[in-house]
Structure 1
Amino acid sequence: MLPTYEVDHFVLDNAEELNQQYPDSFWIPDQLKRESLEVGALVKLIFSMEETEGSEITSVERMWVEVVQVENDYYVGKIDNDPYGSTCVKCGTIFSFKPCHVIDIYEEDS
């Protein structure tokens, strides 16, 4: 199940929708790459988070996530850092996401 404000205090922005709205300025990785991630991959997602639990104020941040499990159409990821604008979301938080949420894939230089 994808994260919700009610349970997880954050939601994920859909990168595919943002790319369709702003194709000249919002690049995302190729669909095949986003759909074939493996455990251990580092990906960047856009989080919209409650600033504090129950707050109507939200903080939007791009953060790196490690893929820890692959499940059919979903990935299970672990946040790789603490956000600046939220006390509700922490490094190590585990959650599900889809390929449509991926805005970048970390690739080491060869």
Structure 2
Amino acid sequence: MREPDLEIEGWCLEDGEAYHAEAPDTFWIPERHRRDSLQTGDLVKLIFRISVDNDDQNVAIERMWVLVRERTADGYLGVLDNEPDAIAENDDFWLGSEVPFSAKHVINIEERDANTIALALKEPRVRWSG
């Protein structure tokens, strides 16, 4: 499954491992084994690069929570659990949109509970088509 592309989707994911490698003392990420063993209902924080139509900037960076839905052959599928601040509500990328990601993108994890597991099992607002 391909990763989101800024040119195609208007958003993509930043590599959290690269951020950590550049500043290991100040940019913490969870241990690799934890990022590799996510389960349905876990919440993960990812860094999104979003194309914006703004005179001051053309890209916004946002850290947002994603609800893990399932494991895939090359990572995970989750559902965006935030409303992006940098863009207006739309039908392509908003709260409930399906997001493919891998362990390298994860910068934080919150453990699942009964509520998040139930939410993860619901149909996404927008399915990932990549």
- The one-character-per-residue Cα deviations of 1:6-37 (angstroms, maximum 9, x if unpaired) are 22211111010110000110000000000000
Match of 1:97 in 2: 101
Amino acid at match of 1:99: A
Unmatched runs of 5 consecutive residues or more in structure 2: 113-130
Match of 2:83 in 1: 82
Match of 1:61 in 2: 62
Amino acid at match of 1:31: R
Aligned length: 105
RMSD value, Cα: 1.5
Identity in percent: 37
- Deviating beyond 6 angstroms after TM superposition, the runs of 4 or more aligned structure 1 residues are none
**Length-normalised TM-score, structure 1:** 0.88
User: Is the radius of gyration larger for structure 1 or structure 2?
Assistant: 2
Amino acid at match of 2:32: Q
Amino acid at match of 1:47: F
Quote the Cα distance in structure 1 between the aligned partners of 2:87 and 2:21: 28
Unmatched runs of 5 consecutive residues or more in structure 1: none
Match of 2:73 in 1: 72
Quote the Cα distance in structure 1 between the aligned partners of 2:81 and 2:9: 16
Amino acid at match of 1:57: N
Of the structure 1 ranges 4-13 and 20-29, higher mean CA displacement relative to structure 2 is found in 4-13
Matched, 1:107 2:107: no
1:41–1:107 distance in 2 versus 1, CA, 3 Å: closer
Amino acid at match of 1:102: V
* SS class of match (2:7): helix
